[in-house]
Every structure is written in C-alpha cells, then in structure tokens.
Amino acid sequence: MDVSLVQVSNISRSFGGHLALDDISFTVARGEILGVIGRSGAGKSSLLRCLGALDRPDAGHIVIEGHNLTTLPQGQLVSLRRRIGFVFQHFNLLGSRTVAGNISLPLEIAGMPRAQRRKRIAELLSLVGLSDHAHKWPAQLSGGQKQRVGIARALANAPVLLLCDEATSALDPETTTSILDLLARINRELGLTIIMITHEMDVIRRIATHLVILDHGHMIENGPTLDILGADTQSPVTQALLSETQPRVPPAIRAKLVETPVPGAHVVIRLRMGGTAADQPVLSTLGQRFGVDAIVLAGGTNEIAGQPFADMIVCLSDYSTEIQDFLHGFDPSLKVLGYVPADH
C-alpha cells in the first residue's frame, strides 16, 4: 500500500525567465511533519502555493490523495483545496469578525448548518485552547492567540493536509514554542500531515520529522531530519542554515586554541550523538573509567524530531588512544577542534 499522501514529481516554476523551482521531487507520508527550509528567495513560498493549488507548476505533477492537482478541472480543484488547511505568517484574520466568526467562515462557505457549526467551533476553540475567547475581536488578541485562531480556522473543515507558511516567524521565542507544541500535538492527536516552511532551522529541529532544503530553486536535501542534521558531512548550504543553532567554541578558549598537539595540552572536541547514544552518561564514564576531566564548553543534549540528539563542544584533560576509541564508538564523526596548551 502506498502510504504517501503527497507526491511531488519533477515540478518547475518560473517567473519572467527566473526559475523559482527547478525540477523538485519528493513525497510526504501520512502523519509526517515535513519542514521546508531555505534562505530568502529559495522558492519556499512558490512551492507551498503549488502544493496548496493556489498556483500551478509549469512542468511536473503534484498528486494529493490520488488527485493530480496539475490536471484536475477547476471545479474539483476547489473542493480539493477545501481539504487543505493554510496557516499564514500574518494570521490573515478578518478584523470585522469575532474569533468564533473567523473560525466559522470556512464552515459557512462549506455550507454547514448553524447548529452543527456552533458545535464544531466549540470543538476547535477547545483544541487550540481559546474556549474563553470566542467572542473577542482579533484586535484584542496577542500574536500567539491570533495564530491559534488561524490554526483553528485552518482545521475547521478537517483537512487532510495542513500547510504553514512561516507560521511562527512573527512571534516571540516563547510564543513560537507554544505554537510549535500545538502543531506537534495536532499532528499526534489527529494524525494530521503538516508541511511547514520556515527559514529557521530551530523550528525544523524541534518538530519536523522530515526535511526538504531548497536553495535557489534547487532541492539540495530531502530525508528524515535526524539523518540530515546528524550526517557526518553536510552541504555548505545545510551547514550555513545549521550554524545559527550549533554550539561554538567560547571566544576565550578559541583565542588559546592551537592546531597541533602539545604535551600536556587539553583537547577540544566536537561530539555529536544521536539515538540511544545521546542518552548515555558518556562524559561521566570518561571520568570514571579513564580518570579524564571532561568539561562541556558549549551545547548539550536537545531533541531533533522528538529524539534526543547531543551536540557539544567538550574539553578533555587527556586524549589517549583508548579514550579516542571509546568516544569513536559513540560518534564516528567526532572532530578534534584544537588543543589548549597548559598554563605555565
């Protein structure tokens, strides 16, 4: 059985001779959270508009639930579009309607009777944690609350796919966390497939199970988030996108760092461990088994797509062959960043 909900095959889209999307292909399985990331102008919004049937690619096909968006007659396209929810960066709420009124709109368009609508709106308000705000106006809400309304409205007609365009980019870090938590919960509880585009790697790292990286209209990575972020080698674009969230050697240590080993020097390494290795007390074992002082200079253990992933810069008082072998068992891609000569 084909579990993929979305199949994108060789799509291209150009604007006035400029190729915004160049031969892009990937699939999205049901229940996945796919993050699409890339720098400004990479083609993210162009891709999302094609996925949401708001625009047609010049070449290639997009198939959602077996329907080919690129060949579907206009009439059927309208009903398919109703099965796709959109969440926007700037919420796009109607200021002339209350919270409940905004959520009601797609239900009214779908022709749902009033009594049924009222029940559905109450369910949606409860799902997004806004039951007490039904009769407020958008102007009375915080950014995070507005986005919750946007999400409830997008979910109103029980879509099979939720498309989010920079859904958290207008929000502060704390509110971003609460919106990402909400999206992850909706994905878990409703099994809803989500495609979210963003330019923030931190957003991807926190909730995307799968990842597409775009650059100048080209797809340069596609796969499970953990595989791409945990890979030994990454493309320069991937590294650049990652660098903002990666641990760095503190400046005071960096100033002392030399490239070649010096007797008695401490060693600074970058240690990355995914899966079960990330849960092991590797550093304390180093101390107990080898009598080494291991100090974390930067980074720590975080989650990628709900799984622990350790990424840290560690200073070790010794780096014998036994210690190297031990650490390589946890991180085959371990890198020595330099040596800090002992103070005299």
Write out the residues near ligand ATP by the rule CB under 6 A.
Answer: 15-16, 18, 20, 38, 40-46, 199
For the CB of residue 80, give the shortest distance to ligand ATP in the complex, in Å. 22
Measure CA of the first residue to CA of the last residue in the chain; give whole Å.
Answer: 68
For the CB of residue 167, give the shortest distance to Mg ion in the complex, in Å. 12
**Residue 135 bridge partners (DSSP):** none
> Cα separation of 242 and 229, whole Å?
8
For the CB of residue 266, give the shortest distance to ligand ATP in the complex, in Å. 42
| Closer of 12 and 324 to ligand ATP (Cβ) | 12
DSSP letter at 199? Answer: S
260 interacts with, out of ligand ATP, Mg ion, none, CB within 5 to 8 A per kind: none
| Closer of 169 and 234 to ligand ATP (Cβ) | 169
Near Mg ion in 30-49, by CB under 5 A: 44-45
**Which residue from 65, 79, 6, 78 is spatially nearest to 36, judged by alpha carbons?**
6
> Cα separation of 235 and 243, whole Å?
12
> Cα separation of 11 and 267, whole Å?
48
For the CB of residue 18, give the shortest distance to ligand ATP in the complex, in Å. 6
| Closer of 16 and 75 to ligand ATP (Cβ) | 16
| Closer of 89 and 145 to ligand ATP (Cβ) | 89
For the CB of residue 89, give the shortest distance to Mg ion in the complex, in Å. 8
CA–centroid distance for 103 within its chain = 26
Contacts of 86 (CB under 8 A, 6+ apart): 52, 154, 162, 163, 164, 165
| Closer of 45 and 307 to ligand ATP (Cβ) | 45
199 interacts with, out of ligand ATP, Mg ion, none, CB within 5 to 8 A per kind: ligand ATP
DSSP letter at 275? Answer: G
203 interacts with, out of Mg ion, ligand ATP, none, CB within 5 to 8 A per kind: none
φ/ψ bin of 306: left (φ > 0), alpha (ψ from -120 to 50), beta (otherwise): left
For the CB of residue 176, give the shortest distance to ligand ATP in the complex, in Å. 17
Binding site for Mg ion (CB under 5 A): 44-45
